[in-house]
A and B are shown apart, each in its own frame.
Chain A
């Protein structure tokens, strides 16, 4: 896959700057358990949906808070690493 240099690369939600919205470029469902994947879909997580990292927890560990579409949710960090975001 070739990517034009002026388009920023998708990066994991976990390493996104706080309050910098982006759209979901892809989700590494294999890193998630079935129940996690199902609940995330129920929260509306899908490619193209706008997401935003809101709170990153204590000292780089613990759960994060993020916005998915119009919903605010909290989940553990490994999930935030499985969601790849295209910054806008």
Chain B
């Protein structure tokens, strides 16, 4: 057990807690999980003025110690010393928004009653001053009986003072436990009294936020702005990523050439070129799109717009049996269902939360893009339906739409059957608008990119290499196709019996097995299988799309697309559902209903296409 003091950052949502955490610890953060729940544990180290190291942990924002969602429970349990796998903090840094002092003080008082040494970081004092709100920190400290430090986390101001106050607090270990009064209204009245004593000048109000809101929340302009933003976001995911994808493909080709030129022909070279470089490379090319999607999501969240979007979407979501809160997790699921499902922990109603978890995999995550992109590129002609509207783009849009519409339908059905019951309503704070700090956005992007690359380097590479081995051995005698003779080929032949009726051929049956690990592996699996059958690596490196176009019928290709709209093909997502729902019941339910949908949709697509003469 380490003896390093543990300090927890606690505060209301929107108090600027995470910005303060980033400012204090920089990029040296560890993102982990609390055992038993998927609430992320963000921690980092910093040195105090006397050189002593401390561990700082950033707790989820909450309004009181009376939690109404799983992430708020973690905050309560940590500060009470009841969270499994976490020591009780030695001190607290309580973060309060200076512009919302009277309200945030209530939670400060409740935390003070815990008796831990505590320092109040009075954050966003610059915003308060801009609003014309003047607070006397000395008066506030006197009334509260707690050191008060003024900070502006996004501009890294007040950090030295905060470290000094924290050093003092940890040295003297002051703090008196008082009985925790269950009635928050008494805390509220005390908070208002203290705020009145500390506030020297009253503001006129949040002028900027109010005038922005009158446009953003306008009954007509609001939805138009929201859908324009979403449209721009999806456009950007494709158009901005073209150049960086080209660079990654260039690097991948160069690496493969180098390997072919330097290594002698044989097992190692084949493994490296066909398994590692081409297999992992075909997945890493999607890093730019994932980063762009998360860039939008992080900026929309940090700016304060995301809650407005949730408000605008609430009426529609209510019609599906959900609430506006489900909008944010579902939007994140377009990047990846895993952070999306994890984001559902802020939904307080258990039925709505479960429903959101179950439909999140229907949102077209970025891992499906490689599959869609390759098939569309190979089978859908690149012609314009109208000036500026390409047929390929329309097909891609239709696939996204199919995912959204089926998620809506599934949500209505699930809410009327397995999660039947009254919902939890919709109640959220609308934070003030602010410019996202580039530093905080970069840290968030780095964390997402790191998780993706780690996945590509471990799960995806492992699966690709394993598949390459299974598909390469035993070596087929002359005249027999390797992809059918090998171990993988024989397994696929068994599966093909089931998938043949919906138009899948042998190679596709082979590709859907490793795609269980991660959907995008379907592309590298097809690449590997066709490369193994090809005469040599040069030919094996031929563009996958061109090869597919010659071998698959259009009906087969469309069936494959329809399959990937629904198939729950990602073990990590299933694992996250299991962790979030504490058991196998719901992940198995999700797997069953999504596979059934995938099979039926692929079948219906294939049979329709064949009937239309496309077989």
Q: Is the CB of A57 within 8 A of B315?
A: yes
CA distance A44 to B12 in the complex (A): 13
Q: Looking at the complex, which one of B188, B203, B425, B426 makes contact with A41 (CB distance below 8 Å)?
A: B188
In chain A, residues 54-80, which have Cβ atoms closer than 8 Å to a Cβ of chain B?
Answer: 54-59, 61-63, 65, 69-76, 79
Contact check, A63 vs B424: say whether CB atoms are below 8 A apart: no
A46 pairs with B188, CB closer than 8 A: yes
| Segment 197-225 of B: residues with Cβ below 8 Å from A | 203, 206, 209-210, 213-214, 217-219, 223
Residue in chain A with minimal CB distance to B428: A74
The answer to the question of B484 belonging to the interface, with a C-beta cut-off of 8 Å to chain A, is no
CB pair B426–A75 under 8 Å, yes or no, is yes
- A70:B324 contact, CB within 8 angstroms: no
Q: Please determine whether A44 and B188 come into contact, CB atoms closer than 8 angstroms.
A: yes
- A33 and B103 alpha carbons, distance in the complex (Å): 22
Q: Which residues of B contact A35 (CB under 8 A)?
A: 68, 348, 424-425
Could you tell me which B residues sit within 8 Å of A by CB distance? 63-64, 66, 68, 99-103, 106, 184-185, 188-189, 203, 206, 209-210, 213-214, 217-219, 223, 307, 311, 314-315, 318, 324, 348, 422, 424-432
Interchain CB contact under 8 A, A33 and B425: yes
Residue of A nearest to B315 (CB): A62
Q: Do residues B425 and A76 form an inter-chain contact, with CB atoms below 8 A? A: yes
Q: How far is the CA of A76 from the CA of B210 in the complex (A)?
A: 20
A33 vs B68: C-alpha distance when bound (angstroms): 13
Name the A residues within 8 Å of B213 (CB-CB): 54-55, 65, 72
12 contacts between A and B (CB under 8 A): A38-B64, A43-B63, A43-B103, A46-B189, A55-B214, A57-B315, A65-B217, A70-B102, A72-B213, A73-B428, A73-B430, A76-B318
Q: Which residue of B lies closest to A71 (CB)?
A: B103
In this complex, the member of A36, A40, A41, A69 whose beta carbon has the largest number of chain B beta carbons within 10 angstroms is A41
The distance from the CB of A31 to the nearest CB of chain B, in whole angstroms, is 12
Distance from A33 Cβ to chain B, minimum over Cβ atoms (Å)? 7
Residues of B within 8 A of A61 (CB): 315
A6 within 8 A of B: no
Contact B430 A36 (CB under 8 A): no
Which residues from A are CB-within-8-Å of B314? 62-63, 74, 76
Q: How near does chain B come to A48, taking the closest CB pair, in angstroms?
A: 10
* CB pair A36 B425 closer than 8 Å: yes
Q: A43-B427, A74-B307 are in contact. List 5 more A-B contacts (CB 8 A).
A: A35-B425, A39-B427, A62-B315, A73-B429, A75-B427
Q: Judge whether B100 and A46 touch: CB under 8 Å.
A: no
In-complex Cβ contact of B68 among A38, A46, A56, A57 (8 A): A38
A79 CA / B425 CA spacing, docked (Å): 10
